[in-house]
Amino acid sequence: MSQTKKILELNGKQFVLIGTAHVSKESCDEVTQTIYEEKPDCVAIELDEQRFASLNDQESWKKLDIVKVLKEKKGFLMLANLILSSFQRRMGKNVGVKPGDEMRAGIKAAEELGIRSEMVDRPIQTTLRRAWGENSFWGKIKLFSILLGSAFSTEEVSHDEIEDLKNGNEMDGMMKELSAYMPAVKRVLIDERDFYLAAHTWKASQKDGVNKVVAVLGAGHLPGVEKHLTAIAKSEESSDTTKISKVPEKKKSAKLAGWIIPALIVALIVAGFVYGGATKGTEMLGSWVIWNGLLAGIGSIIALAHPLAVLVAVVGAPITSLCPFVGVGMFTGIVQAMVKKPTVSDMETLQDDISFKGFYKNRILKVLLVFFLSSLGSSIGTFVAGSTLVVAIMEFVVRFVKWLFSLI
């Protein structure tokens, strides 16, 4: 039996699992050949409905409303999605294959044979949000550093290296490395989706007239999907995916921190006025405003934002830093998009422009860059300014204690 194909007989149903490399010409051919040979009753595809719609609508990027994306607080999600898509596109460029071509091949073969296709993957936005939400602070830093590294990487991947991705030993090694470096990401991107894919493939097999299913999956999911399908068939696991289909709610501690930190900042500044006088209070307030506004402004300038967007960053950061609901990046990004409106050309070349130069050339990517760097600057400013306020209060406390001892 091939490493890329598994055949399971479970409760009178047959499952043919095909493990693919997402930018492999050989995988495309194997998917098509398998479907024609097996003639299943259903083809399960590792896509969600949104990505399926995007595959069918190559002009979908032209309909993008970047302002709406920012207002819905999806700027980071869009940036991450674009970087991941661009990385796969670069991998496939050398071998003449586009990301998702093996999924297209499966859908096309099913259509030609009059077979129903089922999209069995979890929505990408849910997966990305869970990957972000389940991560620790340092995990988030690692994840974003990897995303940025892949965005600006110029490394080329050979045909043989792509085909090695379907090798069991190679894949096991990669999974172990990912698990050791970012366990939360591995759990969300691989383990949870293994179960989700297996559960929805199983559900597809339970529909009327379905006795054989061919499932087109990434090679990394093959062992996990096989394990979960077997467990579901034996009633050792439920096929209910409700729990992992939701974005995790913020922990109470995180929600409280969103309010406690701004409240502490305000309390420190008020304490400066009350116990240190107008001069000290004004100095502390000025420190907060200057650090937040300055660093958010510097972030916008590094992104080569429009002067009006830079002004919004400088003025808005000290205010939005005290509000848990919005960040300055949303406002700077919207202003940048309004004064430098993206063109159709920007939308057409969006995925191909993911590079250092492209972030400055493409107006949509420029909006995301302004959004990200102004947000980053404001976050650093909050930390620095908060630290200076604490130091200022501690200095006052020390002086006050010394004064008390001088009275004894």
* 186-238 pLDDT per residue, tens: 888 889 999 999 999 999 999 998 999 999 998 889 999 999 999 999 999 99
Q: Which range, of 82-96, 120-134, 301-315, 331-345, averages the lowest pLDDT?
A: 82-96
**DSSP state, 352?**
G
Q: Cα separation of 202 and 238, whole Å? A: 11
Note the pLDDT tens digit of each residue in 347-390.
767 767 677 788 888 888 899 899 999 999 998 988 888 888 77
Q: Which range, of 28-32, 244-248, 277-281, averages the lowest pLDDT?
A: 277-281
**DSSP state, 398?**
H
The mean per-residue pLDDT over the stretch 241-251 comes to 83
pLDDT at residue 56 is higher than 80: no
User: Can you give the pLDDT at residue 210?
Assistant: 92
Joined together, the tokens standing for residue 141 give 């830093």
User: Can you give the pLDDT at residue 2?
Assistant: 54
Q: Cα separation of 25 and 109, whole Å? A: 15
User: Can you give the pLDDT at residue 155?
Assistant: 60
User: Taken in order 44, 45, 47, 53, is the CA torsion positive or negative?
Assistant: negative
User: Taken in order 116, 120, 123, 128, is the CA torsion positive or negative?
Assistant: negative
The mean per-residue pLDDT over the stretch 61-90 comes to 74
Note the pLDDT tens digit of each residue in 394-405.
776 666 666 667
Q: Cα separation of 291 and 10, whole Å? A: 63
Note the pLDDT tens digit of each residue in 298-327.
999 999 999 999 999 999 999 998 887 788
Q: Which range, of 4-18, 80-94, 135-149, 199-213, averages the lowest pLDDT?
A: 80-94
User: Can you give the pLDDT at residue 287?
Assistant: 86
DSSP 180-227: HH-HHHHIIIIIIHHHHHHHHHHHHHTSTT--EEEEEEEGGGHHHHHH
What angle do helix axes 328-339 and 75-93 make, rounded to 10 degrees?
60
Q: Cα separation of 239 and 242, whole Å? A: 9
